[in-house]
Structure 1
Amino acid sequence: MTGSAEDSARVYQSSGDQFITEHHHHGSEPVEARASRFAGDRASWPDSVRRPAIGRTPVVLRDRSDVLARLRQGIATGRGGAVYVLHGMGGCGKTAVAHDVFRIAIREFDRVGLWVNAADRASLRAGMLAVAADRGAGDGELQAARHGYRPAADLVWDRLDQSPEPWLLVLDNADDPAILRDGSWLRESPGGIVVVTTRRAAARWWPGAQLQHIGVLPQDAAAQVLCDLAPHSGTLEQAARIAERLGRLPLALTLAGGFLAQQVIDPWTLDTYGRHLDEGARVDLIDQGADGLTGDDPRHLVGRTWQLTLDSFEANGLPEAVVLLRLLARLAPEPLPLSVLGRPEIGAVLPPARAEAALTALLDHSLAQLVDLGVRCVHGHGVLLDSVATATPAEDVPVLDTTAVHLLDASVPAQPDAGPYDPRLRLLAPHVLALLRQPGAPEHGTAGSGRTAATTADVLAVATRLAVALHRTGDYLSAWETAGAAATLAEGTLGPEHRGVLAARSRTGRSLFRLGRYDEAEALLRRTRDTQQRLLGATHPDTLDSCHALQLVLGNHGKRDEAIRLLRSTIAARRQVLGPGHPATLRSRASMLTLLTGPELAAEEGGSLLELAEDCVRHLGPEHTVTLTARHNRARALFVLGRPTGADEEIRQVIGLYEQRFGPDHPTVLAARQLRAQTAAALGDRGTGVAIMADVTARREQNLGSDHHFTTVSRALLEALRDGSWQPPLPAGP
């Protein structure tokens, strides 16, 4: 291979599982602006599924010809139906092999290439829904699947099965196969071929799949990798000796070669590098995801490799790069939005003005990489971050953990509000949970253990608020997973009756309710409410939050009378404790509008409930979510009172505001439009009512499925409007 360079440019020959990164420019558009623009574009989905989010890729893939030949044959012999599992320990280059297969499928066989990160449930679900969008799923179908109203995996695989073009789907980093199994995300399809990368080798996880082990490199290929990356550091024979010392692990070779290539003033030879390896301390890596490791496991040698690079940062006046890598190692080995690192809270461990230089140093030395998932992120390799976390000095851990908590805390909305889906929020979830899993956190601490318990409580509070934010954007599944996992993890340190644990359980119950799992939601919320009453008191704000959530479940679960009694007591207590103008008080009063019949509404507080929207405007403003909810519910109340003219005027205005905020297929919008169909029919315009209900029913059938409860109700109303059997409510009061 030959090449030339001009001015200050450099030429590299790259091989093995290398990521070579030079001159990183992060662009002038703020990350927040790009993310906001992406989140607001409801007509498009992130196109990252068409492009592997793995940073720079190897120019030459060493010693993988047999694997590639086998996979190439599989791609060439048929349209689809096969599943290939590339398994091996972390750092062996499984992703690099998958990427080469991905390129072959696109360039040589004209297949559509689709790439999904399967490291956790939230990333897998979001990626697979993006695949469904790529294969033609509509916005409404995708929204319903994301909200949990229809099985997401069924939608994705239905679209893949019907794809007009053959495809290749890569499920990368599937180190927890239970995630694929529990959601039925991994299937065979006549439409294409699936390639999975994982550390889990046991055949029981991959029934029917063709397994291919990806191991360390042979000595000659490993030596060539070092020579490719650092061609002036020594001979092929010297490189072979160092490669053996590094266990021929592609990740270790990448880090070593990148380090040697960066030495300019006083460059090291391969022999010098070997002497420093002899002097370095042995670091045992944490890699519990790998199966069947042998006694010759070379993973502990990676720690020596990256430590030499960190030592060079210290020696060359850039200790901030070491600190930044240790900070990243406290979080998850998943993409982290760059905006998190740009916050002033990072100043507790390194000067904010030096964060850019520190990140650039990590990128230049292949210790991290940039990925774009619609939001620009930094991503570190799991094996590397595990080893860094293990070797971090114990005295540095408290300030690193505290800084990580503060950075994530500042990245979650202080007061989450209803709005469209925001991809940034989901990206934060694995990092918040990773902090709860770190040594010294839940499972390693004891209740009341001073700083550890306080830090755990802080992380749990962030996780709970993040779950609220996810919930209010309609991502109920992620909200449930985040709140439930956080409560379970924190319980080991804080105990099951800690206030923060109970608050997280309450949020879990709310998401279960939105997912339609009424029995589970009711049981969890009753237990939580009862414990909060015993420990905090019946009028504590946390207890009242659980009471409000419980009445929502009861009202939709055929227990209306109990729901009304509970809601009345909640309203009275919130008025006393929080005041009549507090959003929580007004939200509970708005809920009462949905539970009462016409005669009950006419008698309720002398009819003052109908003036609730004006109270909300006075206390909260005309565009506040609670104000819009109160107006929607008032339109419903006017309708059941037999006042269709007022109801029609109100709901038409609400629909316009809803559509601006949520889009036309959001369940809240469809519920409002269903009421509009009824008010139109009640005013004598049955044709408009039928047309609106036909559209609502079609959207619900497409988004939720024909058997969903909401679809059934809409279909019945449509038929009643068509055949004339539907009758509006009679006037029930003045």
Structure 2
Amino acid sequence: MALHHFGDAYSGFQAGIINGRVDHPIYFSNTETPPNPSAFIPFRRDPDFVDQETILDQIHHKCGRPGSRTALVGLGGVGKSQLAIEYAYRTREQSPETWIFWVHASSAARFEQSYRDIADHVKIPGRRNPSTNIFQLVHAWLCDEWRGQWILILDSVDDTGFLFDASTTGQDEPTNHVGGRRARQLVSYIPQSRNGSVLITTRSRRAARHLVEESDIVTVEPMTMGESLALIGKKLGKQDNMDSVVHLAAALEFLPLAIVQAAAYISKRSSRYSVRQYVEDFLKSDRKKASLLDFKDGQLRRDSDKSNSIIITWQISFDYIRHSRQSAANLLSLMSFFDRQEIPEALLRRRNEQANAQRDDKMGNAGDHGDEADDDHSNGDGDSDGSEYGDDEFEEDILTLREYSFISVIADRPSFKMHGLVQLATRKWLEAYGQQEEWNQRFIMNLDAELPTGEYENWVKCQALFPHAKSAMWASILYKAAWYARGLGNWAEAEEMSVRAMNVRIKVLGQEHEDTLSSMSMEAEELFLHVLDSRKRVLGPEHPETLASMGNLASTYWNQGRWDAAEKLFIQNPDTLTSMANLASTYRDQGQWKKAEKLEIYVTETQGRILGADHPSTLKCKAELALTLWNQGRRSDAEKVLGQEHPDTLSCMANLGMARRHRGKLTEAEELETRVLEVQQRILGAEHPSTLTSMANLASTFWSKGRWKDAEELLDQATEISKRVLANLAILEVQAIETSKRVRGKEHPDTLTCMASLATTRRHQGRWHEAEGLEREHPSTLKCRKA
């Protein structure tokens, strides 16, 4: 501190003359050397960043203009901040003389703290003076072109309200009136200077438009498949099972935050957990899916105020929409129950009077939330009866959801689509508020009112609404949709949708009503346990419906991979295995080889343990499995199941050879047919009918290849054997006729059957007169033979 002595020269207004010595302290600030241009970025560069060159090129182009403002807009978790971080580091590499500043702009408090951090970083004089307007100080520094080039990144400007609310600044500006003060909006402290550019990240397109021109908005979409696979590869390393990696990227809808979450979850479990296991767990149920998406590790370059859980990330936006525009939150709630691909506008506009009243009550209770909230009370130009809400209101709600990237419009059709994960997050959000069932019922009522019955003339409308009926949980809707599916011959989905109707029947009819019990779904173990207990109590343990429930529960255990539990029930109810075998046969007939194979393997192994490896049912299942494998082209696997010389294996080979011949693949056909013939001659003998058939097949192939002599020799050989076999057969049949006449009589049905058989043999031998004689002798023989 220095002392200045004014002597008797100091005088003040109204102070008079001071004749004595005056000591007045003056504080000098320490002189600070201004730093060189540098980057003030609170995050390290991401070594796993995946190049998205198109977007980065757009950012570079727009931010390269003097005084520009650019906004990155996209769904939460799509990677906007990561793009801004990468752009900042690239700019520093290319232009070391450029300052980079990062501002956390999610709230007024964080905005102010960031400005103070900038002031400290560049060492602006006077910044520590409590009376200093820090915003004005930083703004003036940035607008001084002598300071050089800079880029100011405003991160997470999802709500611009605090920027335009003068009451949030905490700073006053003097007016022209003596002693008067006025507030100044924070937005005015975001500089527009030729020596700097502003880059903004936000989830809201509306917020972006408050700060930049529409042409300066860069929309950030989810990654491409290739980019997603590259990100997974960087996070988890090279994977052997690329199919699982592809499925993972698709299941997470190519969203970077979700992918990073999943990779962190998998890495945390290291060698005991794989990508395939994650995908299987993810697809098990919505509950499991939500649990995995709530995992909060993985993203180190994310603001501490932001959650690493993509579910919570979106739910914060849901809360904001509910606060600012209740009707838009209601619309989002309704849309979350539709099939995500094509949500018809007509079903969204439909509102019944009760739903409208509930919505208006909620909006009334929400209080005044500014101009946007006030708009929600407008009826617009809609119908006055309350059945639909107005066009203006609906369009404003749609616009709100579009601006947060929660929905998108389908071109040329009055429909919308959503991310499936956004729908899941919305339903979990509703569940937390205790409103999931309410909006589910609202969706159901709208859909049920629009969905017609399944007659052919309604198929066009059914086709449009069918995917949404599959998402519903309402008996009437599902019945109508199942009717339509049945008309198409889609039996699997018809059955599935029919049984799901039980959820409503429980509420309407009671848990032990016969209609409820008959419609219990195979999807939930706890439901089948209840059904089984109820049917045992109501119908008895031996009742067919009780046994059917036992089979359904066993199938549920099987689908869960709980083999031991399933097997115990199969032992109690062997018919269930038969049902599963029949289902496998149906899958095979439909060409669904993998589904058929999975069932047949389990049935074969289970029957082998329960009934024995040589039991006829086990052997039959083996044959069915071999056929399924053969139809997939897996010949060696099929042969392993039955053995190379099993009759069913030979039958498959013979059929395949015939198919190859018909398709002109004669060499392959000859190879197969020769192999079949050799085995049959050795195992069955030269005179067996199957052997003779195989000789004829091979002769046909020789003929098709132009090997006339080989074909003729083989046919001659088969003819001679056939004559000998038929002669022997005729002798046996004559003996059988004589014996039957003697024991049972000439008119006994068994005698007549033998005579008909002999007549057939005579015809095969070409002995037509003898065959006709038998038929004339006993006219009923002909009738018997035809039967």
Work out whether the TM-score is over 0.5: no
Q: With structure 1 as the length reference, what TM-score do the two structures score?
A: 0.32
Q: With structure 2 as the length reference, what TM-score do the two structures score?
A: 0.30
